[in-house]
Amino acid sequence: MSVSGVRATARIVARADGRGGTSLPVLEGEGPLALRRTRGSGSEARVMLVGAMSGPLGGDHFTVEADVEEGARLRVQSAAATIALPGQAKGEARYDVRLRVADGAELQWLPEQLISAGGSELRVGTRVEVGTGGRLVLREEQVLGRVGEEPGRSSSRLTVRVGGRVVLDQELACGPGAPGGWDGPAVLGGHRAVGQLVVVRPEFEARPVPARVLGEGAVVAPLAGPAVLVSAVAGDALRLRRVLDEALGLVA
What amino acid is encoded at 236 in this protein? D
Q: Strand 153-162: give its sheet, edge to edge.
A: 22-28, 7-16, 61-68, 93-101, 121-130, 153-162, 165-174
> What are the residues facing 168 on neighbouring strands?
160
Is 142 in a helix, a strand, or coil? strand
Instruction: For residue 195, give the nearest of 85, 115, 83 by alpha carbon.
Output: 115
Quick one: 147 exposed, middle or buried, by C-beta within 10 A (0-12, 13-18, 19+)?
Answer: exposed
pLDDT at 188: 67
pLDDT at 3: 55
For residues 175, 179, 185, 189, the Cα torsion angle rounded to the nearest 10 degrees is -10
CA distance 237 to 241: 6
CA distance 25 to 9: 16
Which pTM does this prediction carry?
A: 0.91
- Neighbour count for residue 237 (Cβ, 10 Å): 18
**Strand pairing category for 73-78 and 44-51:** parallel
pLDDT at 198: 97
pLDDT at 184: 62
pLDDT in tens, the chain (252 residues): 445 788 999 999 999 999 999 999 999 999 889 999 998 788 999 999 997 666 788 889 999 999 999 999 999 999 989 888 887 767 789 999 999 999 999 999 999 999 988 888 999 999 999 999 999 999 999 998 777 778 888 899 999 999 999 999 999 888 777 766 566 665 666 678 889 999 999 999 889 899 999 878 899 999 988 999 999 998 888 999 999 999 999 887
**Alpha helix (H) ranges present in the chain?**
237-251
Contacts of 205 (CB under 8 A, 6+ apart): 225, 226
Quick one: 243 exposed, middle or buried, by C-beta within 10 A (0-12, 13-18, 19+)?
Answer: buried
CA distance 183 to 193: 11
Is 117 in a helix, a strand, or coil? coil
